[in-house]
Structure 1
Amino acid sequence: MNNQMRREKLYEILENADRPITGIELSKALDVTRQIIVGDVAILRSSGKPILSTARGYQLQGPAEERGCNRSLHCCSRTMDEDELEAELNAVVDNGGIIRGLTLSHEVYGIIHIDMNIYSRRDVRQYVDKLRASDAPLIVTLTHGAHTLKVETRVDEEMNAVQEGLQELGILA
């Protein structure tokens, strides 16, 4: 395999990966040294390829829509209060998720969608503080706690972690 073919194969591996791939894994898959992988990644980046180096390995960067990491997660909690909502939202952002929105399906009101765009614990705190200050009831009480979160992550590994976090809270339906 020549250098160009190896770089194409390296990029193909990253395109098909559902998690970051370490330099050692790539070097074994392509039967070269890790240093060759480092050089190949540098050459691919200089040619415009969106490769990101993380502590867990290499991955492609870019919008999650292009990476296939958008999910609607069905959640339910009969006892939902501000504290539980805060824990739910933190479970998403702590695992690399962005909460794009929340959707409810109500028998009278129909589909209700709320844009959120919550990226961090700071965003969660501001959202919950605003709810508490307004004295408004939680909208999920309309559906007895049933709701759908529209979540986006960079890679499938983060989406799996988000789902595990929600499962641990007993919220994921």
Structure 2
Amino acid sequence: MKKVLGEERRTLLLDILKSSTEPITGGELAAQTNVSRQVIVGDITLLKARNEPIIATSQGYLYMHTSSPAVLTERTIACSHSPEETEEELNILVDQGVTVKDVRIEHPVYGDLTASIMVSNRREVKQFMEKIKSTNSGYLSELTEGIHIHTIAAQSERALDEAEAAMKEAGYLIDLTD
């Protein structure tokens, strides 16, 4: 296979990402364009600098289409738990039909730090957890003794209410009204 060069490769990457409904790994994109994964990382950075709505998730790159067919409603929830409870927390949320979009902490030096998660089902949660373990990475919440914020999205306010209730029942939700 011939190596795809420069601007032609970035155009191809955009086409591939736009046509996919699932995240695509840097390795898969590298194989499709016959370049290294590091070249793909650079290309994605350039595309993001051009305001292309590409996000990096634990499952790969995803193009965020602005005209999404399903209108999602979002909510921010404050949580606290140990690192060992992360998988349970994420499963509680996705079991209620919500997507966990990100995690955010307030760091004393760097201010707000946000990382994309983008998990919507148990399979994606499992992949996220496997990626954390295989890369020997820590959780952002470890920097704040377990306190963190999630942006969650769902088809309805009811699903978000049910997710919050399940998190409260599990003892993971920080009640901001106390």
> What is aligned with 1:9?
none
Moved over 3 A (4+): none
Say which of 58, 67, 81 aligns to 2:83: 81
Which residue of the partner structure matches residue 70 of structure 2? 62
Give me the whole-angstrom Cα distance separating, in 1, the residues matched to 2:121 and 2:83. 20
Aligned to 1:95: 96
> TM-score, normalization: structure 2?
0.57
Task: Give me the CA root mean square deviation.
Answer: 1.3
TM-score between the two structures when normalised by the length of structure 1: 0.58
Q: Quote the Cα distance in structure 2 between the aligned partners of 1:113 and 1:137.
A: 14
* 1: CA distance, partners of 2:93 / 2:139: 19
Q: Deviations over 1:38-73 (max 9, x none)?
A: xxxxxxxxxxxxxxxxxxxxxxx8311xxxx21000
Show structure 2 runs of 5+ residues with no match: 1-68
Q: State how many pairs are aligned.
A: 106
Measured against aligned partners, the alpha-carbon deviations of 1:59-109 in whole angstroms (never above 9, x if no partner) come to xx8311xxxx210001112xx124x10010011100010011111111112
Q: For residue 130 of structure 1, report the CA deviation from its aligned partner.
A: 1.0
**Which protein is bigger by CA-based radius of gyration?**
1
**What do residues 11-45 of structure 1 show as CA deviations (whole Å, max 9, x unaligned)?**
xxxxxxxxxxxxxxxxxxxxxxxxxxxxxxxxxxx
* 1:76 partner amino acid: S
Structure with the greater relative contact order (CA < 8 A, sep ≥ 6): 1 or 2? 1
Structure 1 counterpart SS, 2:173 = coil
Classify the secondary structure of the residue corresponding to 1:171: coil
Q: Distance in 1 between matches of 2:83 and 2:108?
A: 22
| Aligned: 1:153 with 2:161 | no
SS in 2 for 1:96: coil
**Using the alignment, how far apart are the partners of 2:88 and 2:114 within structure 1?**
21
Q: Within 5 Å, give how 1:125-144 maps onto structure 2.
A: 125-144=126-145
**2: distance between equivalents of 1:137 and 1:151?**
21
Matched residue, 1:72: 76
Give SS of 2:150's match: strand
Q: What one-letter code is carried by the residue in structure 1 that aligns with 2:78?
A: H
Instruction: State the SS of the aligned residue for 2:100.
Output: strand
CA distance in 2, matches of 1:165, 1:126: 22
Give the drift of 1:113. Answer: 0.6
- Secondary structure of 2:105's counterpart equals strand
Specify the SS of the correspondent of 1:105: strand
Q: Distance in 2 between matches of 1:133 and 1:101?
A: 20
* One-letter identity of the residue aligned with 1:81: P
Q: Give, as a single letter, the amino acid of the residue that structure 1 aligns with 2:131.
A: K
Percent identity of paired positions between Structure 1 and Structure 2: 25
